Amino acid sequence: MRWIAIGLTVLFLGNGLVMLTVPYPWYLTIPGVIQTGPFNDHFVRDIGATYLACGIGTLLGALDLRRHAGAVVVAAAFQGAHAIIHVITPFCGTSLPWPLLARDFPGVFLPTLLTIWLAVAAIKSKEAQA
């Protein structure tokens, strides 16, 4: 579990730092982002800050999953809400949703599933301690 938490930490902190420091290249590089609307520097940086918070949560989980279960749950909450948006949005357009869902799997859905799995493990380890 620790390696999953470390991998998520690297992903979330890295993405957040890039979004905060070079938001326009991030906007141009990440598949599908330009289809969501015109570039908004403030919006990209806001979400980058959220990714930093998620990275801090998973970092704390990597250090001591039982002690920092709450931080991991908060990271999972954002990732889950983010993923729900990515599930709903493809069904709102006129094209088939499946290619968009497949495109988002590695960068949105897989990290979300892993973060939720980590949060469940953190809660279970905390309950086992009590």
The predicted pLDDT at position 130 comes to: 67
Quick one: how many helices (H) and strands (E) in the chain? 6, 0
The predicted pLDDT at position 35 comes to: 87
Gap between the Cα atoms of 19 and 116, Å rounded:
23
Q: What digits encode the pLDDT tens for the residues 63-92?
A: 999 999 999 999 999 999 999 999 999 999
Gap between the Cα atoms of 65 and 70, Å rounded:
9
The predicted pLDDT at position 94 comes to: 82
Gap between the Cα atoms of 34 and 103, Å rounded:
14
Run means of pLDDT, 10 residues per run, the chain, 130 residues: 96 98 97 92 98 98 96 98 95 89 95 98 86
pTM: 0.92
